[in-house]
A and B are shown apart, each in its own frame.
Chain A
Amino acid sequence: MRPFIQFESVSKAFGSVTVVNALDLAIEKGEFVSLLGPSGSGKTTILMMLAGFERPTQGAIYLDGRRIDHLPPYRRQMGVVFQNYALFPHMSVAENVAFPLEMQRVPRAEIAERVERALDMVKLKQLKDRRPSQLSGGQQQRIALTRALVFEPSVILMDEPLGALDKQLREHMQLEIRELHKRLGLTIVFVTHDQSEALTMSDRIAVFNAGRIEQIDDPQIIYDTPRTRFVAEFIGETNLIEAKVASVDDHVARISLGAGLSARAHAGNGLSAGQTASFSLRPERIRLGAVPEGSNALDMTIADCIYHGDHMRVQLTRDDFSLVARCERLAGNWTVGASVVASFDPSDCTVLTQ
């Protein structure tokens, strides 16, 4: 039994440049999967291959057990939401939403009813006779979404749909899309380069780098135990420090960090003693002061303390070794130059092969 959507060693090259490289990706029905990666990493290309606007140079794409990579876009039954909405400027809102239903030759009366219902769902019924040019960005976004949903496609594809909205509206729309996904049981493939968007919305995140998947997991695993240096750096903020592996024992590694410091950390795959590796530690996992049982503890000096409103960023140093910690504002009163013990649990940090 194949997964609902499957990329089977799909490659895509434009001329001599390979943009997507032997991609394997499986997405289950009802899942919300985000494709996350830096600009130019091939996210749009993957989405366009799924929608049918690009053809893979190699490999196969399956939908619901059927091979689809030879099908033209209009036979694929996928709702696509484009970054700039791509509403038809010469049609009213209602005509825009009715368009996919007309293409499916739904009877007229039913079209009217379904358009009505769909617009009701996004609370824009009163705008149905307007032209897209008479709508705000958020309203256009919602109409584009409605248009992609109304013909009940098997998959919804979104390419940075919220990129053009301001922060507040973007957060609101994130919740709205998430809610629709839950309520209607939609399968959504969502392209973004905003990591916090991916973290809050997705069931799973696929992190891309240069046309390859670096890691695909649920948001918590991606954040807590990044599998590669790239993922650790790309998602959230981290202290990434070169370290020497002293020993590895049942996924716990002993490492020396320099300046005479050592710690225990969760060991990534393929790690062996004697190796030089990268140690990743999230700033908010560092405690200053108290040292609970079984934690790593490092004696450091406070080099700087930066106020960030709801939290503080504390710069810690010891000789040429330095760390950034993120602390609650009320957690203590840090004075620059004071000595302090920084502690963190071995399960909260990871050692990765270079």
Chain B
Amino acid sequence: MKAAILRERSGALLLVSPVLVFMAVFFLWPLWAMVTAAFVDDAVSKVLPRTAAIIVSWDGQGIPSEAAQKAFVQDLTAATDEQALGEAVRRLNSAASGFRTLLGRTIPAVKAASEPAQVDLLTVDPRWKDTRFWVALKEAMPPYTDRNILAAVDMKRDGSGSIVLEGADASAHRLIMLRTLLVAAMVTIACAAIGLPYAMLAASLTGWKRSVLLLAVVLPLWTSLLVRTAAWFILLQNEGLINRALQAIGLIDSPLPLIFNRLGVVIAMTHVLLPFMVLPIYSVILGIPGNLMSAAQSMGAGPVRAFWRVLLPLSLPGLLSGSLLVFMVAIGYYITPALLGGANDQMISSVIAFYATGTANWGLAGALGLILLVVTTMLYTIYGRFSTSSRLPGA
């Protein structure tokens, strides 16, 4: 008996394990890699392990002890991995400008020395008398850092180590997050305003009319996202169909600015996400017994009251899960804002992509990505609570 269950279970495990391994390696691990990229800061301590061990006890006054300097020279001599060394130099230079040139002079000198133990840093380059470089070196040593996650919310540590706000001009991550939420909210409201009456209309119709309405929702869902974005590009541009039509009927003289601004982004995103609003509402309304409205009316409620008191409250769960879904997808959106938005319409995804592919600043990209991931996961958990099936429409 037990053996049979065990056999069945191990069979099932055997079938599931390839995906489990695949997802663990190629889905969870990458996410983990992103999270660690935000917190790990071992570029320097990996290359200079001996220095790291000694310099932590330095009090930050003057220059470190003879022993620390010896260890530093020893580390530089031992560093053979050019790439890792380059990383360390880049990291140090971002903490104290001038570090690159300083090391550019020091490293060849140390490596060329016949007796590295005898090398005196201060004679190689007098700038080693500057406390600033040694402080930067010490501060780059701890393998973990909260620098990125603080920077992601426009904060930093000041000289004494307490957390303070970044200067207003230094960074604008909060602004971008706020903008992301704002755009997502605008899109959600637009989708709800259109989607609710549309789903009710579709549910109240029968035959070919209903089919047309539903097909109009499903067809875009099946069309490539890029095609739809390209299509909006064509429609919204200054010489596009919409501006041409408005000019032709004499409503406007010069083209309206519809593209590379907030309006264009919201229009296109509403178009893309509308199906995610209509489908949940529609399925909820279909589940409402058809005679409920007539029952309410037979009890003396007029059609308007029947709508307000019966249909609307009953379709609210659909509206809620549709809104959560649209909002959740919208805050992570990349393609549409990237192609149709202006510089002031870029959302958090664009910033993450910029740090990751533009400046190779994985730490900051990871920190911002972590924030987006956490918010999305929270929304998804709420969505899972509210909607009966955690299946996404269109899947």
Contact = CB atoms under 8 A, between A and B. Distances in A.
Direct contact between A and B judged by beta carbons closer than 8 A: yes
Interface of A: 55, 57
B299 interface: no
B304 interface: no
A57 B4 CA distance: 12
B112 interface: no
A146 B1 CA distance: 33
Interface string B1-31: 1001000000000000000000000000000
Contacts of A57: 1
Contacts of B4: 55
B82 to A, nearest CB: 63
Nearest to B1: A55
Interface of B: 1, 4
A55 B4 CA distance: 9
A58 to B, nearest CB: 10
B6 to A, nearest CB: 13
Contacts of B1: 55, 57
B175 to A, nearest CB: 59
3 contacts: A55-B1, A55-B4, A57-B1
A16 to B, nearest CB: 14
A31 to B, nearest CB: 30
Contacts of A55: 1, 4
A88 B275 CA distance: 38
3 closest A-B pairs by CB: A55-B1, A57-B1, A55-B4
B93 to A, nearest CB: 67
A311 B296 CA distance: 47
A57 B2 CA distance: 10
A57 B1 CA distance: 7
A55 B1 CA distance: 7
B7 to A, nearest CB: 12
Nearest to A58: B1
B3 to A, nearest CB: 10
Nearest to A57: B1
A55 B8 CA distance: 14
A81 B4 CA distance: 25
Nearest to A55: B1
B4 to A, nearest CB: 7
B9 to A, nearest CB: 16
B125 to A, nearest CB: 78
B129 to A, nearest CB: 79
Nearest to A56: B1
A197 to B, nearest CB: 34
A60 B1 CA distance: 14
A309 B4 CA distance: 56
A55 B2 CA distance: 11
A142 B217 CA distance: 46
A234 to B, nearest CB: 32
A111 B4 CA distance: 34
A343 B4 CA distance: 60
A22 B26 CA distance: 53
A57 B5 CA distance: 13
Nearest to B4: A55
A38 B65 CA distance: 92
A81 to B, nearest CB: 25
A322 B4 CA distance: 56
A232 to B, nearest CB: 37
A63 B1 CA distance: 21
A210 to B, nearest CB: 22
B332 to A, nearest CB: 42
A73 to B, nearest CB: 13
A95 B4 CA distance: 32
B85 to A, nearest CB: 64
B11 to A, nearest CB: 14
A15 B4 CA distance: 14
A301 B122 CA distance: 129
A24 to B, nearest CB: 21
A71 B141 CA distance: 68
B2 to A, nearest CB: 11
A68 to B, nearest CB: 16
A145 B1 CA distance: 31
A328 to B, nearest CB: 47
A122 to B, nearest CB: 36
